[in-house]
């Protein structure tokens, strides 16, 4: 069975959905770069080890990434799953873990890369808003797409309603793709 690490920085609804989907793997650790993130409460409740590795504690991104690598080595991680992790890895780091880092992004990539993707698509009047799971490279949401599904935006849908639909799809799609990858 493969050992996976989930990286998250904030709310952690995707983290919780993955843990609850009983994948055929060991979810060894949550790696979080924000000591105030709600995802840490979720990890405690779900009995998943949590390692907080904060960027501002290190002199350089090289030192930060080597601290992350130490954690990955300790837990013997095979696959890195990013779920709302707000930090871009260097090219050097990504090369070391080629095809071993995946991410989820709430858009039909390559459209709407980066922050506030759902809001931007909604404001543009898009009738379909996607969720993509992709391999990670050193760009922002630029790695090869593994799977993409969409929700329909109906007339009268508020932004909140669309966001809720997108998150529901994320929770389903991420576990499905991980199951296939594992």
Q: Which residues are catalytic?
A: 105
Which residues in this chain contact ligand GRF in the complex, by CB under 6 A?
Answer: 8, 10-15, 83-84, 104-106, 170
Phi, psi of 23 (to 5 degrees): -70, 160
| Residue 38 or 63 having the CB closest to ligand GRF | 38
| Residue 13 or 33 having the CB closest to ligand GRF | 13
| Residues linked to residue 4 through DSSP beta bridges, in sequence order | 27, 79
Sheet holding 128-135, edge to edge: 49-52, 25-32, 2-8, 79-82, 101-105, 128-135, 145-152
Residue nearest to ligand GRF (CB): 84
| Residue 72 or 129 having the CB closest to ligand GRF | 129
Angle value at C-alpha 42, between 47 and 31, nearest 5 degrees:
80
Least distance in Å: CB of 106 to ligand GRF?
4
Least distance in Å: CB of 128 to ligand GRF?
16
CA distance readout (Å), 115 to 31, 112, 163: 21, 8, 14
Least distance in Å: CB of 67 to ligand GRF?
22
């Amino acid at each position: 069975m493969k050992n996976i690490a989930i990286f998250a920085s904030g709310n952690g609804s995707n983290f919780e959905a993955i843990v609850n989907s009983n994948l055929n793997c060991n979810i060894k650790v949550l790696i979080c770069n924000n000591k105030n993130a709600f995802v840490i409460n979720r990890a405690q409740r779900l009995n998943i080890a949590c390692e907080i590795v904060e960027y501002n504690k290190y002199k350089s991104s090289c030192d930060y990434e080597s601290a992350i690598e130490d954690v990955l080595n300790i837990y013997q991680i095979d696959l890195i799953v990013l779920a709302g992790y707000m930090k871009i890895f260097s090219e050097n780091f990504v090369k070391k873990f080629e095809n071993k880092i995946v991410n989820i992004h709430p858009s039909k990539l390559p459209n709407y890369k980066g922050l506030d993707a759902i809001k931007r698509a909604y404001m543009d009047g898009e009738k379909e808003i996607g969720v993509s799971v992709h391999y990670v490279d050193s760009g922002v949401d630029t790695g090869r797409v593994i799977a993409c599904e969409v929700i329909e935006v109906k007339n009268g849908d508020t932004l909140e309603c669309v966001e809720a639909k997108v998150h529901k799809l994320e929770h389903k799609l991420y576990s499905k793709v991980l199951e296939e990858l594992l």
